[in-house]
């Protein structure tokens, strides 16, 4: 029996090892330090504001973020008036006026982030046929989430010997297939941070990845904080139930 169980264990182990070896076909993004990871993780508000600045000044020229509204920015630490001012920088189509024409109006906090292109076709036409995907859920829509985003933004490099990169494409170590249509647009000092943090590539990539996690999962902090309370409650309840069970069953096992 014992020998048999060992055999099963060995088989299961072998299977697991082969599996993980096969899965490693493209470069696995290294794990980064994130303020929001872990059971008690919370967002670094300063990093979120910097990350929003990077998105606003760099990413948003091509990438939409249509599921996020300006009003959501209050969660980053902006005041109501600051949010109104940010929204008012954008012109969005208004409802048809009495003449049936659609005119532009300044955006209000309730509006969703304005997309850089009116539709996918326009986006493709402006980007050499490639479609810059919507970033609202990007941190949840890729394996390895924010680690992948950081790796991608910092993973542009010279192609290795023998790899020819077609016109309008770039070589990225972490992109599946390595050839990506996005240029290495984020560089050292692509932005000048309002809080005077040096805007190195690593810093701004880290900040914007943090911002993208928030955009994809705005209730992350509430979720984890509620979770800690729920788990503590259930531990207490399970402990009490165990005591009750012991008492009730005490006379069932003479």
Partner 1 sequence: MSDTIHPAGAGGQGGHEGEGTTRRDFLYLATGAVAAVGVASVAWPFINSMNPAADTLALAQIDIDLTPVQVGQSITVTWRGKPVFVRRRTEEEIASAASVNLAELRDPQPDSARVKQPQWLVLVGVCTHLGCVPLGQKPTDPKGDYGGWFCPCHGSHYDTAGRIRRGPAPLNLLVPEYAFLTDTSIRIG
Partner 2 sequence: MAAPQFKNPVVRWIDYRLPVFTALHHEYNEYPMPKNCNYLWSFGAIAMVTLIIMIVSGITLAMSYTPSTTMAFQSVERIMRDVNSGWLIRYIHMNGASMFFIAVFIHIFRGLYFGSYKAPREILWMLGVVILLLMMATAFMGYVLPWGQMSFWGATVITNLFSAFPIIGDHIVTWLWGGFSVDNPTLNRFFALHYLLPFVLLGVVFLHVAAVHVHGSNNPVGIDIKGPQDSLPFHPYFTIKDTFGLSIFLLVFAGFVFFAPNYMGHPDNYIPANPMVTPAHIVPEWYFLPFYAILRAVPDKLGGVLAMFGAIAVLFILPWLDTSKVRSSNYRPIYRQFFWVLVIDCLVLGYAGGMPAEGIWLVVARVAAIYYFAHFLIILPLLGKLERPRPLPSSISEPVLKGGGHYPTAAAAKPMEKA
Q: Indicate the annotated binding residues.
A: 59, 62-63, 182
Q: How many helices (H) and strands (E) does the chain have?
A: 7, 4
Neighbour count for residue 53 (Cβ, 10 Å): 20
Determine if 241 is a binding residue for partner 1 (CB under 8 A): yes
At its nearest, how many Å lie between partner 2 and the CB of residue 241? 4
Among 24, 25, 196, 247, binds partner 1 (CB under 8 A): 247
d(CA 84, CA 186): 27
| Residues of the chain by 3-state class (helix, strand, coil), percent to 5 | 45, 5, 50
At its nearest, how many Å lie between partner 2 and the CB of residue 98? 28
13: burial class by Cβ within 10 Å (0-12, 13-18, 19+)? exposed
Determine if 248 is a binding residue for partner 1 (CB under 8 A): yes
At its nearest, how many Å lie between partner 1 and the CB of residue 102? 16
Give binding residues for heme c as ranges.
59, 62-63, 182
Contact (Cβ atoms closer than 8 angstroms) between residue 63 and residue 127: no
Binding stretches for partner 2 (CB under 8 A):
1, 4, 8, 11-12, 15, 18-19, 22, 39, 67, 72, 133, 136-137, 140-143, 145, 176, 216, 218-219, 222-224, 226-228, 230-231, 234-235, 237-238, 241-242, 244-245, 248-249, 251-254
Contact (Cβ atoms closer than 8 angstroms) between residue 51 and residue 209: yes
Residue 172 neighbours by CB under 8 Å, 6+ apart = 152, 155, 156, 157, 178, 179, 180
What residues numbered 76-115 form the site for partner 1, per CB under 8 A?
A: 98, 108-110
Residues of this chain that bind partner 1 (CB under 8 A): 69, 71, 98, 108-110, 233, 236-237, 240-241, 243-244, 247-248, 251
């Amino acid at each position: 029996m014992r020998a048999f169980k060992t055999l099963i264990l060995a088989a299961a182990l072998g299977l697991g090892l082969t599996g993980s070896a096969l899965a490693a076909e493209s470069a696995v993004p290294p794990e980064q330090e994130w303020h929001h990871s872990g059971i008690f993780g919370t967002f670094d508000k300063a990093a979120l504001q910097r990350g929003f600045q990077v998105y606003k000044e760099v990413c948003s020229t091509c990438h939409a973020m249509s599921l996020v509204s300006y009003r959501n920015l209050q969660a980053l630490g902006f005041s109501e008036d600051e949010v109104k001012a940010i929204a008012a920088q954008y012109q969005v189509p208004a409802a048809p006026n009495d003449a049936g024409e659609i005119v532009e109006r300044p955006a209000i906090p309730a509006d969703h982030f304005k997309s850089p292109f009116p539709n996918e076709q326009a986006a493709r036409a402006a980007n050499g046929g490639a479609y810059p995907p919507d970033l609202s859920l990007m941190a949840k829509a890729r394996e390895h989430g924010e680690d992948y985003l950081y790796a991608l933004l910092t993973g542009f490099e010279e192609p290795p010997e023998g790899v020819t990169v077609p016109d309008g494409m770039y070589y990225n170590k972490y992109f599946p297939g390595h050839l990506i249509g996005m240029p290495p647009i984020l560089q050292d000092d692509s932005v000048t941070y309002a809080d005077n943090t040096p805007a190195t590539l690593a810093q701004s990539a880290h900040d914007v990845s943090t911002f993208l996690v928030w955009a994809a999962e705005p209730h992350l902090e509430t979720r984890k904080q509620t979770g800690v309370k729920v788990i503590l409650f259930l531990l207490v309840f399970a402990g009490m139930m165990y005591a009750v069970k012991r008492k009730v069953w005490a006379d069932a096992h003479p």
